[in-house]
Structure 1
Amino acid sequence: MKIWILNHYATDMYFDGGGRHHGFAKYLIRNGDEVNIFCSNYGHNKGEDIEIKKGISCEKVGADNIPYIFVKTKPYEGNGISRILNMILYWKNVKKVGKQKIKNGKKPDIILASSVHPLTLVAGIYLGKKYNIPCICEVRDIWPLTLVEFGKIKRNGLLHNFLLKLELYTYKNAKKVIFTMEGGKQYIKDMKWEKYVPLHKVEYINNGVDLEVFRNNKENKIYFDRDLESNKFKIVYTGSIGQANQLHLLIKVAEQCKEEGMQDILFLIFGEGSQREELERVAKDKKLDNIIFKGKVGKEYIPYILSRSTVNLIFIAKSDLYKYGMSLNKSFEYLASGQPIMLNADFGYNYLTRDNCAFVNENIFQAVKTVYNLSKLDYTEYCENCIKTSEKFSFYELTKKLRKIMKEAIEN
């Protein structure tokens, strides 16, 4: 198959050599398919950009021999008007670039257009209709529901209603709709859209992990750290340290562990963010030597770090949005580490608890005590469950599912 993947923000994947569509492309190419990823020439909040000296696009080959086509847009900061203009310019120019390639005899067999924002889906549908190419729309973030739930726009306002119409338009006109959250069909039912979007064309492929890369990094990218190598009960968190990540809750938990005499518990926080300095100061003022902020580390060291923990920690915000499921990127690396997971809140279609890989409790201290008091046999069972579940979410397996959906879309 000749496959085009439209993902505005895949620029970061080119630089990182990883991510959802890089993973798909890697294994599609190994299967003999031809893949091109169309993305913006400006990275998303990372400052890593591709200069386009002539025209509105340029091509480069990334890791794993994946061809990236960079579409000219504009730089932006934050989520204001400059970002909206960046979205519009991608929508406008990716259509032009696609048209030119088709005129040059490079018509694909299928287009996979992926959100976050809906204009990418609209562009994919436009090219599909104009040149008789089946277009699959992939929904990684349900707009406008996500924007409403997190207070970015008002429910039933002009923008909300416009985005709802745009959302329905994309679902109606896509050959298939792939949700990254398992409850996509239920969402269509709740919206009463079955008449326009038959459930047989709604599919589900969650995010995942490239186990080949993960296992290689785990064995070869060793992160030397005295605390990480200790025999203590190590609770590890990796990721951002901002207001939304709620790591302030760990200060209280660390205090409770001290009070309960659980002296061998150690919290290790790997990451950076706006809240780090404040939380570190509070921990120091309270003389808590059982919570240590390690700072940011290269992503290639994360597999080794996670595999040296006793249990890995995920914080999520509580929201009705998550009743349809989640696609937590870090959760799949956590699973691949073979160590149990603690969650501070539940979500719908929870693949972590369903396979007995995680402990959910709003009271993190109670979750800590539960894992702390597990028998060796029960703990080992949770570890084995994590490994088995990670294999279901490996990009090798997920790509086979994607390929089957694509073939059905082309044949039908």
Structure 2
Amino acid sequence: MKNLWIFHHYATLPSLNGHIRPYNFARHLADTGISTTIFAASYQHFSDINIIQDDSKYLVNNEFDTPFVFVKTPSSKSGGVSRVKNMLAFYRNLFSVSKQYAKEHGKPDVILSSSPQPLAMIAGIKIAKHYRVPCICEVRDLWPEAIFLATRIQGNSLIGKFLTAGEHWIYRHGDALIFTKEGDTDYLKEHKWTTDQGGDIDLNKCYYINNGVELSSYYEQIKTCKLDDADLNNNKFRVVYTGAIRKINNVGNIIDTAYILRSNPDIEFLIYGDGNEAESLRRRIVDEKLMNVKMKGFIEKKYIPFILSRSSVNLLNYSQTEYNWTRGNSSNKLFEYMASGRPVISTVKMGYSIIDKYNCGIELDEHTPEALADAILQIKEMPPAQYERLCENTKDGAKDFDYKELSKKLLSVIMQSIAIKGSRS
């Protein structure tokens, strides 16, 4: 057995909402001779729960078949400074906690350290160096680019240059780099960091493993977690959105589209989710007397597969300006949508487009209510045989992003990293 340690600040138990990618990997890697331990922050970002309520530095949870080591961190609920303190606490405590855990359970053979918390990757590299094992850095979001897009901090500012230098250090010292978007290596080329350009990062150590979906669990939930919702069983063309209702999701655009299509009685918009813009959108629906759109509020994640499987088309509704989509999409929602076997409409045109590759929907060149209304009508008015082909393409495409398949890719990276590190020792 090889021992894999995963450092993932936001990893959660499979029984909770949040990041279960590490657990999905762990359960499949176990069948291949890899024993995984997941190190995560005690404060659960997506549920406002702190698993450690006393002075303990860490807590081990063996409730499932993969050990979770929760490292003590304070709450980051208020964001800003509290979130920075939360990140620093995870980074700082990870060193002593991992040392103690190694004494009791043995050292790792390889470490997988995941972003978007960049300090976690720095800790992973340093701890791996101590044990003389490889560190694989998983880059889920390109920091600090995401910070530059979402805040007033500019890349050419003093702090921007400092953050970029830190990012470069991580990429240079990681034994292998896993990117979750297919085009993320373009970022390295844009900065002229690759060895082909005279830089110090070898593209041969870069790999692409996107997010995905646990298909066996997904299809089981469709059968066992059915939602009693009359709107999912009517004869209308159901346009479904699931997810957060925040500025970046631009759900107001869906309401605008519903207004354009309000005279078409066969089309109904169903919005499942909650967020800080939900109440204002509800008022709009009432004020504009929209009878073709319903906001369903928060729904437990276990019901999402059933909801999506009962749609006619599912919406990936994003802002074109809040994020850089040129390098692809790693949204978990995309793969949940694909697994449902229903066409997908994306309100942004993606680089390295998965929707285009699998011919499973439509991406809009313009993010306008008019363009979205046209795309909905285009799918609604398709001949049945063409619509069914879209559905089959969507479901078939999801198979490539089943965690069973993604875990095979990760196993290959793990074994190559161990072999290369061993040859250099």
TM-score (normalised: structure 1):
0.96
Q: Give the conservation status (yes or no) of the 8 Å contact 2:71–2:97.
A: yes
Q: Give the conservation status (yes or no) of the 8 Å contact 2:147–2:153.
A: yes
Please name the residue that 2:207 is paired with: 203
Please name the residue that 1:236 is paired with: 240
Deviation at 1:12, TM superposition (A): 6.1
Q: Give the conservation status (yes or no) of the 8 Å contact 2:262–2:291.
A: no
SS at structure 2 position matched to 1:138: strand
Please name the residue that 2:220 is paired with: 216
Indicate the larger mover: 237-246 or 116-125.
237-246
Please name the residue that 2:335 is paired with: 332
**Structure-to-structure mapping, 1:35-54, within 5 angstroms:** 35-51=36-52, 53-54=54-55
Q: Give the conservation status (yes or no) of the 8 Å contact 2:18–2:46.
A: no
Counterpart of 1:249, as a letter, is: N
**Cα distance in 2 between the residues matched to 1:372 and 1:55:** 57
**Cα distance in 1 between the residues matched to 2:18 and 2:118:** 25
**Cα distance in 2 between the residues matched to 1:121 and 1:239:** 28
**Cα distance in 1 between the residues matched to 2:107 and 2:150:** 39
**Cα distance in 2 between the residues matched to 1:213 and 1:179:** 25
Please name the residue that 1:163 is paired with: 163
**Cα distance in 1 between the residues matched to 2:106 and 2:84:** 30
**Cα distance in 2 between the residues matched to 1:18 and 1:43:** 10
Q: Give the conservation status (yes or no) of the 8 Å contact 1:45–1:77.
A: no
For residues 213-255 of structure 1, the C-alpha deviation after alignment (integer angstroms, 9 at most, x for no partner) is 1011011101011111001100001111122221112222222
Deviation at 1:360, TM superposition (A): 1.4
Counterpart of 2:382, as a letter, is: L
Q: Give the conservation status (yes or no) of the 8 Å contact 2:350–2:363.
A: no
**Structure-to-structure mapping, 1:169-318, within 5 angstroms:** 169-194=169-194, 195-259=199-263, 262-318=264-320
Counterpart of 2:297, as a letter, is: G
Counterpart of 1:83, as a letter, is: R
For residues 68-105 of structure 1, the C-alpha deviation after alignment (integer angstroms, 9 at most, x for no partner) is 00111112223311111111111111111112233446
Deviation at 1:26, TM superposition (A): 1.6
Indicate the larger mover: 52-61 or 380-389.
52-61
Please name the residue that 1:119 is paired with: 119
**Cα distance in 1 between the residues matched to 2:13 and 2:274:** 19
SS at structure 2 position matched to 1:183: coil
**Cα distance in 2 between the residues matched to 1:242 and 1:185:** 29
The match for 2:387 among 379, 386, 408 is: 379
Please name the residue that 1:357 is paired with: 360
- The alignment's C-alpha RMSD in Å is 1.6
Counterpart of 1:9, as a letter, is: Y
**Cα distance in 1 between the residues matched to 2:237 and 2:142:** 38
Q: Give the conservation status (yes or no) of the 8 Å contact 1:11–1:42.
A: no
**Cα distance in 1 between the residues matched to 2:92 and 2:150:** 28
Q: Give the conservation status (yes or no) of the 8 Å contact 1:255–1:288.
A: yes
Counterpart of 2:31, as a letter, is: R
Q: Give the conservation status (yes or no) of the 8 Å contact 1:14–1:62.
A: no
Indicate the larger mover: 335-344 or 79-88.
79-88
For residues 120-145 of structure 1, the C-alpha deviation after alignment (integer angstroms, 9 at most, x for no partner) is 00000001111101000000010111
Structure 2: 5+ residue stretches without partners: 421-425
Please name the residue that 1:90 is paired with: 90
**Cα distance in 1 between the residues matched to 2:266 and 2:156:** 52
SS at structure 1 position matched to 2:326: helix
Counterpart of 1:251, as a letter, is: I
Deviation at 1:274, TM superposition (A): 1.8
**Cα distance in 2 between the residues matched to 1:113 and 1:283:** 44
SS at structure 2 position matched to 1:3: strand
**Cα distance in 1 between the residues matched to 2:253 and 2:318:** 12
Counterpart of 2:356, as a letter, is: T
SS at structure 2 position matched to 1:324: coil
**Structure-to-structure mapping, 1:15-164, within 5 angstroms:** 15-16=16-17, 19-51=20-52, 53-63=54-64, 65-104=65-104, 106-164=106-164
SS at structure 2 position matched to 1:399: helix
**Cα distance in 2 between the residues matched to 1:234 and 1:105:** 52
**Cα distance in 1 between the residues matched to 2:259 and 2:75:** 45
Deviation at 1:264, TM superposition (A): 0.5
For residues 311-361 of structure 1, the C-alpha deviation after alignment (integer angstroms, 9 at most, x for no partner) is 001111214622111201111100000000111111111111221112112
**Cα distance in 1 between the residues matched to 2:182 and 2:130:** 31
Percent identity reads: 37
**Cα distance in 1 between the residues matched to 2:13 and 2:162:** 29
Please name the residue that 2:423 is paired with: none
Give the length in aligned residue pairs.
409
**Cα distance in 1 between the residues matched to 2:15 and 2:114:** 16
In structure 2, relative to structure 1, the CA distance for the partners of 1:386 and 1:192 (3 Å cut) is same
**Cα distance in 2 between the residues matched to 1:14 and 1:283:** 35
Q: Give the conservation status (yes or no) of the 8 Å contact 1:11–1:41.
A: no
**Cα distance in 2 between the residues matched to 1:359 and 1:226:** 28
Q: Give the conservation status (yes or no) of the 8 Å contact 2:138–2:177.
A: yes
The match for 2:414 among 385, 394, 406 is: 406
In structure 2, relative to structure 1, the CA distance for the partners of 1:36 and 1:174 (3 Å cut) is same
For residues 353-383 of structure 1, the C-alpha deviation after alignment (integer angstroms, 9 at most, x for no partner) is 2211121123211111111111111100110
SS at structure 1 position matched to 2:168: helix
